[in-house]
Structure 1
Amino acid sequence: MYTDDDPYLAEIRRIALGFPEATEVEAWGRPTFRAKKMFGIYSGSMSQRLSLEFLPDHGELEALRQDPRFYVPQYSGAFGWLALDLTAEEPDLAEIAELLESSFRRVAFKRMIAALDASPRTP
């Protein structure tokens, strides 16, 4: 369902794996990024919509739903996930970093969040 040279995958991988103790696990034919649990899923292929699925911050959920670049993904959407359509416009890596960080904070252990808070930020 993907190849390592998919557009934006290298940047998303770099951001996601930059979080403390984050790992990548291939599941359902897609790269998933995990702390204690999944916090990001790279979806699609060139024949489908390229997207990044994530767990949004509760306070930002309604604003994100109003943005046409975001949609409720087919399977994970039932569990509160949203997806950013990476083909809608040129993705903003700083925005992707913020979305992944919020998602990471929702699932990570306290020690991981403490390590994140103690580290310098680089999108």
Structure 2
Amino acid sequence: MPHEVMFSEDDPGLAELREICLAYPAAEERVSHGRPTFRAAKVFAAFGASEKLRPGEHRQVPSALVFLPDAVDLPAIEQDERFLVPAYWGPYGARALDLAAPGVDWTEVAELVDASYRRVATPRLLARLDAAAEG
């Protein structure tokens, strides 16, 4: 049984996130569990999340970017109140940022997506990405 669609094309941040994510080599968008995910063989970003507040209680963050932070950046992310640990994804190291919050820095979002892509991309895809950046 398929999941219900849990996003709208005009959701805050979706168009911008889609433009950033789909610029990566072999990146594609698929709807999984009712939400857009961006993958290059493996998921490197997703749109929409929830945050577990206490057992049985979640806060929905429908315009969240879910990403895999670089280990070097994780301590700073953990100290920044803008970031949350998304339910289901969090135990695997993912973090999330609400793209509907005021003052979203799209350069920062692009950097987070880049780090996340680099965590899951194959060596061949990384070589393509680096070659495109050089030339």
Q: Same fold (TM over 0.5)?
A: yes
Structure 2: how far apart are the matches of 1:31 and 1:2?
A: 8
Structure 2: how far apart are the matches of 1:13 and 1:88?
A: 17
Q: Which has the larger Rg?
A: 2
Shift, 1:86, TM fit: 2.0
Does structure 1 residue 35 correspond to structure 2 residue 48? no
Q: Is the 8 A contact 2:13 2:100 kept in 1?
A: no
Structure 1's unaligned 5+ residue stretches are none
Alignment of 1:68-83 (within 5 A): 68-83=81-96
- Partner residue of 2:130 out of 112, 117, 123: 117
When the two chains are superposed, the root-mean-square deviation of aligned CA atoms in Å is 1.6
Higher relative contact order (CA 8 A, sep 6+): 1
Q: Which residue of 2 aligns with 1:24?
A: 29
Q: Which residue of 2 aligns with 1:92?
A: 105
Q: Deviations over 1:68-100 (max 9, x none)?
A: 000100110011000012233221111111000
Structure 2: how far apart are the matches of 1:31 and 1:110?
A: 25
Letter in 1 for 2:21: A
Structure 2: how far apart are the matches of 1:103 and 1:57?
A: 7
Q: Which runs of at least 4 in structure 1 moved beyond 4 Å after TM superposition?
A: none
Give the TM-score taking structure 2 as reference length: 0.83
Point out the structure with the larger strand share.
2
Q: Which residue of 2 aligns with 1:13?
A: 18
Structure 2: how far apart are the matches of 1:8 and 1:61?
A: 23
Letter in 2 for 1:26: V
Secondary structure class of the residue paired with 2:72 = helix
Structure 1: how far apart are the matches of 2:18 and 2:12?
A: 11
Aligned length: 119
Structure 2's unaligned 5+ residue stretches are 1-5, 50-59
Give the TM-score taking structure 1 as reference length: 0.91
Letter in 2 for 1:88: A
